[in-house]
Amino acid sequence: MKKFLMATAMGTMAATGAIAAEHEGPVKIGIILGFTGPIESITPGMSDAAQLAISEVNEAGGILDGRMLEAVTADSTCVDAAAATAAAERLVTSDGVAGIMGADCSGVTGAILANVAVPNGMVMISPSATSPGLSTAEDNGQFFRTAPSDARQGEVLANILSDRGVESVAVTYTNNDYGKGLSDSFIASFEEAGGSVTLNSAHEDGKGDYSAEVGALASAGGDVLVVLGYADQGGLGMIRSALDSGAFDTFMMGDGMYATALLDTIGDAMNGSFGAVPWSEGEGTEAFAANAEAAGFDPATSYTRESYDAAALLALAMQAAGSTDPNEYKDSILEVANAPGEQILPGEMEKAIQILSEGGDIDYVGATNVELIGPGEAAGTYLEYTVTDGAFEQQQIR
């Protein structure tokens, strides 16, 4: 199948000078992430990870007989859909990218998908947009993600509480697609397991005072405050206000709260709190960690592994299809991501490209044990952690 696709693409290139010219020069990969906004503390690691994959492809000789990859970055802001759409439009129309690694937060990702990717026939692979609503978005087969849906995360969070014997919680979520989707998923799972939610309340990012929101949650009660927000914005504000007022002293946190900046800001008062974040373990994860450390960035921050895999899948799908045209390589993403084929770990780009150039099959394991299911999203596993001595302490993989 892949050999046939490559042969077809090469024949098309020979047929027209315009297409042949398009297959010369660097292949631009867009990286659109929240370099400003509520997750800006974790974005540098995500960008570094994507660029690590790109550099490894280039060190392996590039794709499609020597074409180098070139990263082009843009700011999604994470929260401003209009700004994110404009930034993505520039990537496609001005910069001429062949694929997009991103976006990050669910709301801006949905906006880019609907307003830029689908109208322009562009492929997107998000490392961190987890809203369940994206599973059914109209995408023409052009949208993928290497992080699991929050439909799964909600179940995991509910199971953690049940295993810890927590029966009653209050919930606060950031007032956007991500927060609402995760809150709905979590509450459905927690109540189905017999748990009680005293109050489910949205919070806005960017406020200086969250005392009113915390007061309402405190009045409702609950053994734990579940915080489904961002570590650089409202989630941080809610926790700080709850601690200052004595309303709550233990918090369960969703994936958007997993950031060392949160612990650096609040300190030991976070001890005993817990949560979950998409995670993986195994040979691929270990290989990525070693390569990331050698490249000078922390492999253990949120969504670094998923970002590396998203960028790698774009390049390998292009090689498998023999084309940088998103409409031609989009169908190859599931092929290179899943069995059958030779397993590919981080740092093995040269091996993968060689196999694909010879018409063979690969099973890209990557940093997250990649397995894409359903509409092109990750099956995924999660790390349960507890904050101990001011640091995240790993408990188990779920």
Q: What is the pLDDT of residues 76-104, one digit of tens each?
A: 999 999 999 999 999 999 999 999 999 99
Residue 11 lies in a domain: no
Do both 202 and 234 map to the same domain?
Answer: yes
Beta bridge partners of 382: 278
Residue 7 lies in a domain: no
Q: Which residues lie below 8 Å from residue 177, measured CB to CB, with a gap of 6+?
A: 106, 107, 110, 131, 133
β-sheet with 69-75: strand ranges across: 69-75, 27-33, 99-102, 124-126, 143-145, 377-378, 372-373
In which residue are the tokens 């009045």 written?
Answer: 219
Residue 373 lies in a domain: yes
Do both 167 and 244 map to the same domain?
Answer: yes
- Between 169 and 11, name the one with better pLDDT: 169
Do both 46 and 111 map to the same domain?
Answer: yes
Q: Is the pLDDT of residue 153 over 70?
A: yes
Closest-CA residue to 105 (of 55, 150, 170, 152) = 150
Specify the CATH number for the domain of residue 65.
3.40.50.2300
| Band of pLDDT at residue 379, cut at 50, 70 and 90 | confident
How is residue 236 written in tokens? 């941080």
**3-class DSSP state of 28:** strand
How many C-beta atoms lie closer than 10 Å to residue 312's C-beta? 31
Do both 267 and 393 map to the same domain?
Answer: yes
| Band of pLDDT at residue 329, cut at 50, 70 and 90 | very high
pLDDT at 140: 96
Asked whether the bond before 259 is cis by omega within 30 degrees of 0, the reply is: no
What value does the mean pLDDT of the chain take?
93
Q: State the number of CA atoms in the 13 A half-sphere of 172 facing the CB.
A: 32
| Band of pLDDT at residue 309, cut at 50, 70 and 90 | very high
pLDDT at 23: 58
Do both 53 and 142 map to the same domain?
Answer: yes
Q: What angle do CA 226, 208, 393 make, to 5 degrees?
A: 35
Beta bridge partners of 74: 32
Residue 111 lies in a domain: yes
Q: Which whole number is the average pLDDT over 11-16?
A: 31
Query: Positive or negative CA dihedral for 141, 142, 148, 150?
Result: negative
First-to-last alpha carbon distance for the chain, in angstroms, is 35
Q: Is the pLDDT of residue 397 over 60?
A: yes
pLDDT at 380: 84
Do both 232 and 250 map to the same domain?
Answer: yes
Quote the number of domains for the chain: 2
Residue 158 lies in a domain: yes
Do both 393 and 256 map to the same domain?
Answer: yes
Residue ranges making up the domain that contains 372: 27-148+282-378
Do both 158 and 268 map to the same domain?
Answer: yes
| Band of pLDDT at residue 366, cut at 50, 70 and 90 | very high
Residue 63 lies in a domain: yes
Q: Is the pLDDT of residue 43 over 80?
A: yes
Q: Which whole number is the average pLDDT over 44-71?
A: 98
pLDDT at 271: 98
Beta bridge partners of 377: 145, 373
Share of the chain above pLDDT 90, in %: 92
Do both 120 and 234 map to the same domain?
Answer: no
Do both 268 and 388 map to the same domain?
Answer: yes
Q: Is the pLDDT of residue 320 over 60?
A: yes
Tens digit of pLDDT for each residue in 338-353?
999 999 999 999 999 9
Do both 32 and 168 map to the same domain?
Answer: no
Do both 270 and 390 map to the same domain?
Answer: yes
pLDDT at 375: 82
Q: Is the pLDDT of residue 239 over 50?
A: yes
Q: Is the pLDDT of residue 266 over 60?
A: yes
Q: Which whole number is the average pLDDT over 274-302?
A: 96
Closest-CA residue to 126 (of 145, 98, 151) = 145
Residue 90 lies in a domain: yes
Residue 14 lies in a domain: no
Q: What is the largest CA-CA distance in the chain?
A: 72
pLDDT at 19: 33
Q: Are strands 391-397 and 381-388 parallel, antiparallel or unpaired?
A: antiparallel
Q: Which whole number is the average pLDDT over 310-326?
A: 98
Rounded CA-CA distance 347/223 in Å is: 45
Least confident span in 10-24, 57-71, 116-130, 200-214: 10-24
| Band of pLDDT at residue 24, cut at 50, 70 and 90 | confident
